[in-house]
Structure 1
Amino acid sequence: MLNIEQLHRLDLTLTELRDWLERSALPLWSTAGVEPTTGGFHERIGQDGRPMADDDRRSRVQPRQIYCFSVAHQRGLAGDWDTIVRNGLTYFEKTFLRHDGLYGALADAQGVLIRPEYDLYNQAFALFSFSQIAASFPESRMRMEEKATELLRLLTTHHKHPLAGFEHADPPGVPLCSNPHMHLFEAALAWETLSERPDAWTALADEIAHLALTKFIDPGSGGLREFFDREWNPHPSDKGRVMEPGHQFEWSWLLAQWAALRSDNEAMAKAERLFEIGVDYGMSRDGKVAMMSLYDDFSVHDPIARMWPQTEWLKAATRLALVGTAERQAHYIGSAIKAADAFREFLKTPVSGLWFDKRRPNGTLIDEPAPASTFYHILCAIYEAGANLAKLRARN
């Protein structure tokens, strides 16, 4: 049974995190994080609050920031989010859109595309940002759905893997990767709820879920792998042994959503197992934070802890508390409290609204600029956890 004291403690922490997000992080990243001339988004902000303006810019970061500021608009927060999103999308299209309708990988600080190659990861985040623009700005829904539908058509026509899923790169090669499929899964689930013609998105979500359940997840241990050969078997190198705790949590969160939508008990059980692998084997020596990566025997591969796995831990814990069995709810809420505490470890910065990206095994944080790529994880986790907790409270 749920413990009211636990719920109250988690509620207080999530309120604190939401206040930090809305009073510090969003104002900072929507000003210092935006290049005023082009409307593009900076890759990093230094711990002094100033942007690293000379950084090259990854394609994936631009739609992630568009997603964040679209959510701010949807929630009615004070700010000119319409202009920020519109200018950001214009910059993304002008800078990264290729003649074939796909998006390149990297531009320099002046907006020149210096790495135009295809990467599935970048297309997935374009699709995801289009879904949030559609949700936040209803007048843009039709245009965003047309763009998303065309991008999915291009991926299916030119980059479909012959067995299942999609090619990660062009030309096709190895290793094949689960990670971009995770974000494509995220985009498909978002569009399934938004689209007036959801069949293609439902089919895409189902295909990726099946690929995860049959290939990405090891049938013996229940852990999710990162890298594969051409037949979607574990890559024969050490890469094929890598399992990231953050991705156990992130896939757990997504599969729990999909399993609830499809009433799939097997998928729910696998989502719960992924979560348990993360908390049982993926924690730092002091037990406070989730580490970067394990081998497939659950021994440590990379003991550094990054910020983003803590956010995925929080999302998965609260989602499983919401959709899992009543007997397990207290367990998941207790874990969510630990995840929120881990989250806060990385926010002890000199300028509020930033974060440290990495924590050493001895518990010290690495003093380096905050990466914009993490903002999507942070914002999504705070609002997802808050929504899940509110539903739990209403139910109990």
Structure 2
Amino acid sequence: MPRHLGWRDAARFRDEPPSKGLMRFMAPANDFRSLREAADWYDNWLRMHALPLWWKVGADHVGGGFLEALSLEGEPRPAPRRARVQGRQIFAYALAGMMGWDGPWREAAWHGLDYMLAHFQREDGLIRTLVGLDGEPIDETAMLYDQAFAILGLATLHRVDPGRIDLVAEGDKIRQGLQSMRHVHGGFRENIAQPFQANAHMHLLEAAMAWGEAGEASWDAMADEIVKAALTTFIDPAGGFLREFFDEEWRPAAGDEGRLVEPGHQFEWAWLLERWGRQRGRGDARAVARRLFAIGRKGVDPVRRVAVNELWDDLTLRDGTARLWPQTEHLKAALILDDLDAALEAANGLRRYLETPCLGVWRDKMNADASFQEGLAPATSLYHLITACKSLADSQA
């Protein structure tokens, strides 16, 4: 196998035919030959390995809630618990129920929700960010990001298993609490060092759309508001790419922070804007989705065939490490936009992260030389993976 080419070397092969050696690197023998084959493989991986493992080992069946991570051998790694993990796992198992998984999805989803409401919800309805292994608060901060995933989990569970408690009312509590996080110049402030950011709004859009799809039209206004912000503010009017960080007047942040472009977020916004555009009959949003997808593709390393973490705003490489989650978003966006070649490439790239000693966990970070960093499998990735698996399955239905 040839050495891994540098980014500049690899870019040359966009216009020149690769050598036979490079072709062997780019097309391993176990590559999927079709999306049908990929969909079957991922569906089996999800239903037979990931979902059972993260319920059996990744949940705390004594104290409640879900763990932060597992080892690559599928062993629990206890640590203080973030709210976003609970919200994402509630969503994942509720979505598994929508997908017809015959495992204990209902028990798992309610296990997470009961724990979240008991240990993470503050008196103002918002969700605190961190509790200890004993369930006691460690950090009372209400992160916009965490609220979005609590709302998403509630909406998805309401859609698939309503009636046990008033999940609509629980979602409304958080929505009312969000008013304290509104910013005078529009949008919401995040409670981190970069308070004016696109990413938390993106997940809030996903959550609001989930409530709309669950029949609660009162959330549509929030979804529409965030899409308007994306089309007018978050997306650069000249370059067509989505920026990450802004100042308090929603202008691009000064310095390197304002120049950050993440391929994974170009894909994730493309997926959401295409869905929203179809629902609202907005061709302009759908055109923007395709533009974002094209820009995200500029961040796909043609040698490793994975989406890198970061570009600069001139679309040159900033960070060639490739985390798992941009690969799932590449796949989802390619499928919804019907770019089948890109979808197959993304499915093959993602598979390498899932080839682990214990099936059902994943590697999180690929280095520039295509090796993987040592580390744990973060629970938060199941949210990304199950939506990618569902997108693949739906594409073949």
Distance 1:40 1:174 in 2: 29
2:277 to 236, 244, 259: 259
Q: Deviations over 1:128-165 (max 9, x none)?
A: 0001111110324x711111122112212x11122221
Partner Cα distance (2:108, 2:282) in 1: 40
Paired residue secondary structure (2:318): strand
Map 1:273-284; keep pairs closer than 5 Å: 273-279=291-297, 281-284=298-301
Q: 2:347 aligns with which of 340, 348, 352?
A: 340
1:1-396 aligned at under 5 Å gives the runs 9-53=34-78, 55-140=79-164, 143-156=166-179, 158-169=180-191, 174-196=194-216, 198=217, 200-279=218-297, 281-284=298-301, 286-321=303-338, 332-390=339-397
Q: Which amino acid aligns with 1:386?
A: A
Shift in Å, 1:76: 3.2
Seen in structure 2, the aligned counterparts of structure 1 residues 354 and 269 have a Cα distance that, compared at 3 Å, is same
- Point out where structure 1 has 5 or more consecutive residues left out of the alignment: 1-6, 322-331, 391-396
Is the 8 Å Cα contact of residues 284 and 361 (structure 1) preserved in structure 2? Answer: no
* Matched residue, 1:324: none
Correspondence for 1:393:
none
CA distance in 2, matches of 1:70, 1:145: 15
Cα deviation, residue 112, structure 1: 1.9
- Asked if structure 2 preserves the Cα contact closer than 8 Å seen for 1:234 and 1:240, the reply is yes
Among the aligned pairs, what percent are the same residue? 40
Distance 1:266 1:80 in 2: 42
Determine the C-alpha separation between the residues in 1 that align with 2:358 and 2:64: 23
Matched residue type, 2:167: M
CA–CA distance in 2 between the matches of 1:8 and 1:343? 14
Cα distance, 1:174–1:82 mapped onto 2, change above 3 Å = closer
Task: List gaps (5 residues or longer) in structure 2.
Answer: 1-31
Instruction: Tell me by how many angstroms 1:384 deviates.
Output: 1.9
User: Corresponding residue for 1:4?
Assistant: none
- Secondary structure of the structure 1 residue equivalent to 2:112: helix
Q: What do the CA deviations read for 1:178-225 (whole angstroms, capped 9, x no partner)?
A: 1010011001111112134x1x31111110001000110001111101
Q: Cα offset for 1:14?
A: 1.1
When you count helix as a share of all residues, which structure comes out higher? Answer: 1
Deviations 1:267-291 (A, max 9, x none): 1111101101111x21236251000
CA distance in 2, matches of 1:175, 1:190: 24
Which secondary structure state, in structure 2, belongs to the residue aligned with residue 259 of structure 1?
helix
CA 175–99 in structure 1, closer or farther in 2 if over 3 Å, else same? closer
Checking the alignment, whether the CA contact within 8 Å between 1:176 and 1:228 is kept in structure 2 is yes
Aligned residues: 366
| Cα distance, 1:251 vs structure 2 | 0.2
Equivalent in the alignment of 1:328: none
3-state SS, counterpart of residue 114 of structure 1: strand
For normalisation by structure 1, the TM-score amounts to 0.89
Mark the CA change 1:285 to 1:336 in structure 2 (over 3 Å): closer, same or farther: closer
The one-letter code sitting in structure 2 at the alignment partner of 1:358 is K
User: CA 1:257 to 1:362, structure 2 compared with 1: closer, same or farther past 3 Å?
Assistant: same
Per mean C-alpha deviation after superposition, the further-off stretch among 74-83 and 256-265 is 74-83
The CA deviation at 1:174 is 4.5
8 Å contact from structure 2 (residues 127, 142) kept in 1? yes
Using the TM superposition, give the Cα deviation of residue 81 of structure 1 relative to its aligned residue in structure 2, in angstroms: 2.5
TM-score by length of 2: 0.89
Runs of 4+ aligned structure 1 residues displaced above 6 Å come to none
Q: Report the RMSD for the aligned CA atoms in angstroms.
A: 1.6
Q: Describe the superposition over 1:210-242 as per-residue Cα deviations: whole angstroms up to 9, x where unpaired.
A: 100011000111110110001111001211111
